[in-house]
Copies of this chain bind each other. A is one copy, B any other.
Amino acid sequence: MTIRVGIVGATGYTGLEAIRLLLSHPQAEVVVATSRADAGKPIAEVHPMLAGRLDLELTQLDASKIAQTCDVVMCCLPHGASAQTVKELVQHGTRVIDFSADFRLSNVPLYEKWYGVTHPWPERVGKTAYGMPEFFRDQIQDADVVANPGCYPTSAILPLAPLVQNGLIDASDVIVDSKTGVSGGGRSAKLAMLYCETNESIAAYGVGNHRHQPEIADLVQRISGTELDVTFTPHLAPMSRGILSTIYTKPNQASAKDVMQCWQDTYSDSVFVTPVDHLPATKHVAGTNFVQMTVREAGKRLILICAIDNLAKGASGAAVQNMNVMFDQPESTGLS
């Protein structure tokens, strides 16, 4: 069996990472890659690391053609633009894994408040599978659209959700302090993403108003049934890849041991989520779909620490994992 995959918006970092992963996937083949700006060029001209590895010409997006040649599309467009394209692809009969935030949140007002745009396909908001097989496997399996999770939310929801669900921590007082690599900022020519602007420096950004904050709260609530009050602060660290989230919680009389036990129970069937004793570094999961998490007691607080690769489990790795679920493959195929 071969899953024929299309990559829409293939010139960015998540598109490249998806291709990189699919090249070593025994059951998948990248058959289409689109780009508005670079259509007509060989893909290896845009991504020289694909030279001799993928012989494909970038094309303009054509939803009806894609429907004929692809079993699934990974849509790597920015929010707003993405929903419109997803709608068109689905209406032509293609299954889509959407990398944007357009179908992640539970309701349209929340989306429109945080993203400041009118949603082009509001009927599907809140009815789309959230692409985290650890919690939504069944919905993903049959979905025509999967909302691939945000990178930061992945690093926060996976450690938090089971603890909130099981009442181990106080959901009304949670802080997520996250540090990401620069690839999270995308592959477009922005001054702030220049090497000399980010190298040898760390800084916070989007303090108090980053769009991943409502995604974390919304999904933890969807999974646990409990409202989460979370303060989220992202930081840009001088590295290409990786997210480390340091999460400050107040326990409901739970110990670090209780937390580890809860995680082990929750993730006993998970290939990728790995509770560990050591303090995880982003290096420990770099280039992989793995999630390392641990917990430490610190006075009256429990500190959770979670490391992922923002381009892998935080984006393209999760997409491949979702694709495997959608096409009845073992979740780890092409990802181990």
A residues in contact (CB < 8 Å) with B:
13, 23-24, 26, 45, 48-49, 51-53, 175, 177, 179, 181-183, 187-191, 193-205, 207-208, 229, 231, 233, 235, 237-242, 244, 246, 248, 274, 276, 278-288, 290, 292, 296-301, 303, 305, 307, 336
Task: Report B-chain residues with C-beta under 8 Å of the C-beta of A286.
Answer: 49, 200-201
Q: List 12 contacting pairs A-B, 8 Å CB cutoff, sorted by A.
A: A26-B26, A48-B281, A179-B179, A179-B237, A182-B199, A187-B194, A195-B195, A195-B238, A199-B239, A200-B282, A203-B279, A208-B296
Q: Are B235 and A246 in contact, CB atoms less than 8 angstroms apart?
A: yes
Can you name the residue of chain B whose Cβ is closest to the Cβ of A13? Answer: B196
The answer to whether A196 touches B187, judged by C-beta atoms less than 8 angstroms apart, is: yes
* Contacting residues, chain B, for A202 (C-beta < 8 A): 179, 237, 239, 242, 244, 281-282
Which residues of chain B come closer than 8 Å to A188, judged between CB atoms? 191
Q: How far apart sit A235 and B177, CA to CA, in the bound complex (Å)?
A: 11
CB distance from A331 to the nearest CB of B (A): 14
Q: Is the CB of B274 within 8 A of A52?
A: yes
* Chain B min CB distance to A255 (Å): 13
Complex CA distance for A191 and B187, rounded to whole angstroms: 7
Residue of A23, A208, A286 contacting most chain B CB atoms (<10 Å): A208
Q: A201-B282, A201-B286, A238-B239 are in contact. Are A231 and B298 (CB under 8 A)?
A: yes
Contacting residues, chain B, for A189 (C-beta < 8 A): 189-191, 194
List the B residue with the shortest CB-CB distance to A183.
B196
> Across the interface, do A305 and B204 meet the contact criterion of CB distance under 8 Å?
yes
Chain B residue with the shortest CB-CB distance to A208: B298
Q: Which residues of B contact A279 (CB under 8 A)?
A: 203-205, 207
A233 and B208 within 8 A (CB): no
**Which has the most chain B C-beta neighbours within 10 Å: A181, A204, A231, A305?**
A204
Q: A207-B296, A284-B48, A284-B49 are in contact. Are A198 and B201 (CB under 8 A)?
A: no
CA distance A292 to B44 in the complex (A): 12
Nearest B residue (CB) for A26 = B26
Contact present for B283 and A201 (CB under 8 Å): yes
Interface contacts beyond A52-B276, A202-B244, A208-B296: sample of 5 additional A-B pairs, CB < 8 Å, sorted by A? A45-B278, A52-B292, A188-B191, A202-B282, A237-B238
Least Cβ distance of A213 to chain B in Å?
9
